Amino acid sequence: MKKVLDQMRKSVYFNIPNLLGYLRILLIPIFLVLYTRADSTKEYGIAFFTLALSYFSDFIDGKIARKFDMISDFGKALDPVADKLTQASLAIAITYRYPAMLYFLILFVIKELYMAVMGLLLIHRGKGVKGAQSYGKICTAVNDAGCFVLLLFPNIPYFVGSALIVLMMIITTVSWIKYIKFHVSLWKEGEVHEE
């Protein structure tokens, strides 16, 4: 067993945490197909189970990486990509019931493109990449919670769902503004922290 773990530690692209990251990305189209084709409570349950499996693998990949010394720069990059793709898939699924979610999805994509480009520019200038800022984590938590409410309770009043989408857009915009200020301050000094 020790030999297998040692080999997996050496294989950055195929260690257990990164394999779980690939699994999360592979579950996205499965979830979308299951959710958009669901006609019964059982079918929705299967879609949610797929999503729950994705979130569970996200929960344990970091723990495995730390416990077995499998942390890698590739894994640090893969994990947020899987996170953002999962969040985008949730937003896409919600647009089937709430067309206003499309506005959130557009805002989300523009913000994440900004984060990616700014991260690359700062890396090019010799800055390091670390974890999320607290406001980025709060934004992610609020958006995930909002998406789960909209997915799990499809019969809530339309205005309540729309109000929740507006709240998510406000939180995302505030987080983006804070990241812009943060990146401006980093342009000449320090390290970059990305969501």
Active-site residue numbers? Answer: 83
Question: Cα separation of 193 and 129, whole Å?
Answer: 6
Q: What are phi and psi of 130, to 5 degrees?
A: -125, -155
Residue 164 corresponds to which tokens in the numbers above? Answer: 């929740």
List strand residue ranges (DSSP E) for 27-180, in order.
129-130
DSSP tag of 13: G
Q: Burial of 195 by CB count in 10 Å (0-12 exposed, 13-18 middle, 19+ buried)?
A: buried
User: Token pair of 168, please?
Assistant: 């998510």
